[in-house]
Structure 1
Amino acid sequence: MNMTLADIERCLGNMAEEGHQDIRVASVKTDSRTVEAGDLFVCIAGENYDGHEFAPQAARSGAAAIVASRMLDDVDAPVIMVRDSLGALGRLAACWRDMCGAKLVAVTGTAGKTTVKEMLYAVVSRKFETAKNYRNFNNQIGLPMSMLKAAAKQEVWIMELGISRKGDMEELAPVASPDLAVITNVGPGHLEGLGNEAGVAQAKTALLRYLRPNGRAVVCADYPLLWDAAREIVDAPIGFSTNANSDTSYVASFLGGSDTENWGRFRLKTPEGDGELTAPFCGEHYAENLACVAAAAHQLGLSRDDVIKGVRDMAVDGQRFCCKVGGGVTVIDDTYNANPLSMARSIRTATTMADEAPLVLVLGDMRELGAEATRRHEELGTLVAEAAPAAVFYKGDHLADVARTCGGAVIPLTTPDEFLRAWRETGIDRGVVLVKGSRSLKMEEYANALCRELNAGAPGGNK
């Protein structure tokens, strides 16, 4: 960011003070411990802290000014008063985007949105200076802070928007005000805050109400609730699909593994052509991501070849279906998060990869499902039964719900060391191990422990 203090004051609805047009603000901070000379400190009141209490510390560190929603004492820096400091952070990000003239792509969905964002960045950055938010910094603080970190020279900003309760999108979408809105899918995620799948569809598609004039929407056509909700808002959403019989212009399908370990073979159809490609990821869920990225990239002026080259060169996230091989065992670290949609996809893909070899599932609770939590974990147990794994390990409050329907023994997970002792007792020396659960359960600790045990690492190099 590169704004004057006068720019910031006017953006936030205040009169610019004399001389403030000569004060440059290069960075915005919400953590007083990171404030450096010339930064703008925004006081955010959270559940566990209130930034207003740390305003004096920010001023002593050289803050150029402080944005606050209540009166401050003993602060030796200009104070910009606002009604809502969190909302002011969003308005500031929107102002910076308008000053830069960047084209913004907003990505949301129940599953795959971070992967789509990363894939799209890999494609778009081949042709344009491109910004993105880091990992899943996608909430009411993460989104505006990501936008404020973008540089004026970056022509395209690809920003992920994450919601968990009703009203979240109405707070995020005006900040993004996208030129291109991308909705990957909808499913039973964050039901505690969004109610049911219809509620999820309504909440996600609220993004489309904030499209800029002549803005476009890319939406998966495979989810009737999502597609119908989108069409109530925009006349002609651009559809993508994994259904080979779909009449959409962008279709991808997973064809199985390739000769390069842990790479997948895909078929991709766009208006420019239809054919096979290989990429450094595997599974049917990646086909949906690929179709989505092809549709979005085309709206930004990129070709099918640009998409193929971009995704082939991208680095796979270490906690998103990242395959590490040790001896005859492939450990799939998919511990970034979990909901019923992503859990089902990962288990089915792991089952396919295992083929006739043993499959081991190391799973954890799917959080934030509200009143549907028991039913959704019983459905997970049924899915586990269909996969017929050689062993099942489980961590979380819903172990009994999964065990009730999975048709076999479920080994409770305690510490990583206890897990390794139980793993050794299985005697399994080949096959596939999937590790997945909600982020708060820290399932990566079990994946990392097993990888150390097996001396497993990600295959080197891209094809």
Structure 2
Amino acid sequence: MILTLADAARCFGALAEEGYDKTVINSVQTDSRTVTKDDLFVCISGDNYDGHEFAAQAAKSGAAAIIASRMLDDVDAPVIMVRDTLKALGKLAACWRDMCGARLVAVTGTAGKTTVKEMLYAVCSQKFSVAKNYRNFNNQIGLPMSMLKATDEQELWIMELGISHQGDMEELAPVASPDIAVITNVGPGHLEGLGDEAGVAQAKTVLLKYLRQSGSAIISRDYPLLWDAAREIVDAPTAFSTQGHRDTSYVASFLGGAEVEGWGRFDLRTPEGEGELIAPFCGEHYAENLACVAAVAHELGLSREDVINGLKTLEADTQRFCCKVGGDVTVIDDTYNANPLSMRRSIATARELAGDTPLVLVLADMRELGRETVMRHEELGTIIREAAPSAVFYKGDHRQDVAKGYGGDITQLTTPDEFITRWNELGIDRGVVLVKGSRSLKMEEYANILCRKVKAGMQGDNQ
């Protein structure tokens, strides 16, 4: 499949001028610094930049054409004018998907969407040539750019959609126009832009309005707000669960750790049967992901055995509940992001993995919670108290709110080096440490320095 400049122009509703049909687009770029010969440069305007200011540089780098929403001077390349360059980027991605004829699975949810996408990729790659978006490139730029990087040889595209404000899904869903829409869960995430949990459910389920004809919806049955909102749009969504709801065909549960470090044992029930399996991930929250993946796989014609075999090839993301072992200390790096739902799940799983050994929590603020910020951090303190950790370290503005719910001492974090000094004072040589917080707080710095410390200690013991 070849995308020409004429194809792009027609996609935008513009006239294909003479020669456009012979100009083959190499790739689509939104950053002028990455433009090479025959690329299509789309001028995107952000809060702190305007791509139109770099259009001339893109032309000098060999751009086949420029997509712009205002007149440009001194640009030595064809310019296609559109009303909104961001929407044009989405339209181009949708057109490219139609030209390729690929089936598209769209995954959204408050927590676990990236993990589900990666699990689906591992499972589906056994039978299909599959495209996916990189990590969480899932917004109004990341989604279309991921789709435009896919090829016509990749028959299945698995795309993650992330939203943080009302109206976001109305912009993303038409671009994806999925054959299968997946909503993993809903919880108190991005409340600053979505209002409350009911608002989250309503915003996520907008995706279902853009299902293609004969498309399927895969929805968690465990969240009443989500299920009810989905049923208002789709008569008969396919349900998955970790709670064994009646009339739910896809159910999974976490049975505990496996003999292999970092692996877990799960029970999985599908229409093909029920039984135990082991997989390269561990924790109750992964049971939800597993049930979801099994439901999607079945919709794609894959078997329960395909799911089990595919998941064994999954490689852990280094910042998504990745267990790093140093002697008798397991450091869980779950630093990619945090919201109340994922924080509660991670703490519960860390407590279970620790068993009767010490549990240490190294946490940070949860961002974008709007008017519920204080309440949710006090609630986090209560969750921490129930987990009964041996020590709690905290970084961020809401330590006192967490301490109020916790009812105990919480050590404030300042720098990674200061944290290691405090860690040494604990004298802990066995147990589990969970490191988690919102992405902007860079908690991976604390996970990394702790991993180096415990591994160095292990090497010293072996000398």
Q: Which residue of 2 aligns with 1:77?
A: 77
CA contact (8 A) 1:297 1:303 kept: yes
- Relative to the length of structure 1, the TM-score reads 0.98
Q: Matches of 2:211 and 2:158 in 1, distance apart?
A: 14
Question: Residue 365 of structure 2 aligns with which residue?
Answer: 365
Distance 2:452 2:442 in 1: 16
Q: Which residue identity does 2:66 align to in structure 1?
A: I
Contact 1:253–1:267 (CA under 8 A) maintained in structure 2: yes
The residue that corresponds to 1:296 in the other structure is 296
Indicate the residue corresponding to 1:95 in structure 2: 95
Partner residue of 2:460? none
- How far is the alpha carbon of 1:245 from its aligned partner? 4.9
CA distance in 2, matches of 1:359, 1:407: 17
Question: Which position in structure 2 is the counterpart of 1:171?
Answer: 171
1:54 paired residue number: 54
Letter in structure 2 aligned against 1:247: D
Root mean square deviation of aligned Cα: 1.0
Structure 1 distance, partners of 2:405, 2:371, is: 19
Write out aligned runs for 1:121-160 (5 A): 121-160=121-160
Look up the SS of the partner of 1:137 in the other structure: coil
Q: Which runs of 5+ in 2 are unaligned?
A: 458-463
- The alignment's TM-score, normalised by the length of structure 2, stands at 0.98
- TM-superposition CA deviations, 1:274-319 (whole Å, max 9, x none): 0000001000100000000000111111110000001111101100
In the other structure, the counterpart of 2:445 is 445
Question: Any idea what the Cα deviations from partners look like across 1:219-249, whole Å, max 9, x if unmatched?
Answer: 0000000000000000000000001354300
> Map of 1:36-55 to 2, 5 A cutoff?
36-55=36-55
Alignment deviations for residues 312-341 of structure 1 (CA, whole Å, 9 cap, x no partner): 111011000000011110000000100000
Provide the rounded CA distance (Å) in 2 between the counterparts of 1:387 and 1:174: 43
Contact 1:242–1:288, Cα closer than 8 Å, also in 2: yes
2:249 aligns with 249
Q: Does 1:401 align with 2:362?
A: no
> What is the deviation of 1:260?
1.1
Check whether the contact 1:221–1:239 (CA below 8 A) recurs between aligned residues: yes
CA distance in 2, matches of 1:2, 1:388: 59
**Is contact 1:244–1:253 with CA below 8 Å preserved after alignment?**
no
Q: Partners of 1:372 and 1:102 in 2: how far apart?
A: 41
CA contact (8 A) 2:96 2:148 kept: yes
Q: Distance in 1 between matches of 2:325 and 2:167?
A: 43
The ranges of structure 1 where at least 4 consecutive aligned residues each deviate by more than 2 angstroms after the TM superposition are: 244-247
Aligned positions of 1:105-254 closer than 5 A: 105-254=105-254
Q: Where do 5+ consecutive residues of structure 1 fail to align? A: 458-463
CA distance in 2, matches of 1:319, 1:152: 31
Q: Helix, strand or coil: the match of 1:455?
A: helix
Question: What's the counterpart of residue 461 of structure 1?
Answer: none
1:244-323 paired onto structure 2 within 5 Å: 244-323=244-323
Deviations 1:142-191 (A, max 9, x none): 00000000011000000000000000000000000000000000000000
Match of 2:65 in 1: 65
Asked if the contact 2:26–2:37 (Cα under 8 Å) also holds between the matched residues in 1, the reply is no
Q: Is contact 2:328-2:429 (8 Å) kept?
A: yes
* Cα distance in 1 for residues equivalent to 2:456 and 2:268: 32
Q: How many equivalent residue pairs?
A: 457
Q: Deviations over 1:326-373 (max 9, x none)?
A: 111000000010000000000000000001000000000000000000
Secondary structure at 2:138 match in 1: coil
Identity %: 76
SS at match of 1:446: helix
C-alpha distance in structure 1 between counterparts of 2:205 and 2:189, whole Å: 15
Inter-partner Cα distance in structure 2 for 1:382 and 1:360: 16
1:66 and 1:80 in contact (8 A); partners too? yes
Residue pair 1:322, 1:334 contacting (<8 A) in 2 also: yes
Kindly indicate whether the alpha-carbon contact (under 8 Å) linking 1:2 and 1:26 is maintained by their aligned counterparts in 2.
no
1:118 maps to amino acid: E
Q: Corresponding residue for 2:27?
A: 27
